[in-house]
Amino acid sequence: MAKHEFGIFETEPESGKRYDEYSPEKYDCSAIHDDYIEPLLGELNVLETYIHTLSCAGNGLVYYGITLIPPSSLPEFKKIIDSTGLKELQVLSEKIDEAMQRYKFMIHYGI
């Protein structure tokens, strides 16, 4: 099963550090099947994100890598996820809500 995993940083990502290790348990990640994320990739490209490190700005989700999603991008991220109306994305919507309330970065592990 191809899946994406989304979690929340407890502390802000460190400047200059690369986040290359697959550690979903460290960020209490929720897994979402690729069937629900892949169709949204185009829409998600509006999000300002970082690729593996804060020194590499990007847009959208890194499909095969690691994305750092700053708090400023979370409202739009939630809007896109919620616009689908899919119950399969409810757990992701709740995870985004939690990160927004706590003003925390999120991490995404691509497939």
pLDDT at 1 over 80: no
Q: What is the pLDDT of residue 102?
A: 98
Average pLDDT over residues 8-21: 96
- 44, 60 Cβ separation under 8 angstroms: yes
pLDDT tens digits, 32-89: 999 999 999 999 999 999 999 999 999 999 999 999 999 999 999 999 999 999 999 9
Q: How far is CA 81 from the centre of its chain?
A: 11
Name the residue range of residue 25's domain: 3-109
Q: How far apart are CA 66 and CA 4, in angstroms?
A: 10
Query: What's 35's DSSP letter?
Result: H
For residue 26, which amino acid is it?
Answer: K
Q: What is the pLDDT of residue 86?
A: 98
Number of compact structural domains in the chain: 1
The tokens of 54 are what?
Answer: 């804060």
Query: CB count, 10 Å around CB of 35?
Result: 12
Query: CB count, 10 Å around CB of 78?
Result: 18
Q: pTM of this prediction?
A: 0.96
CATH number where 11 lies: 3.40.1760
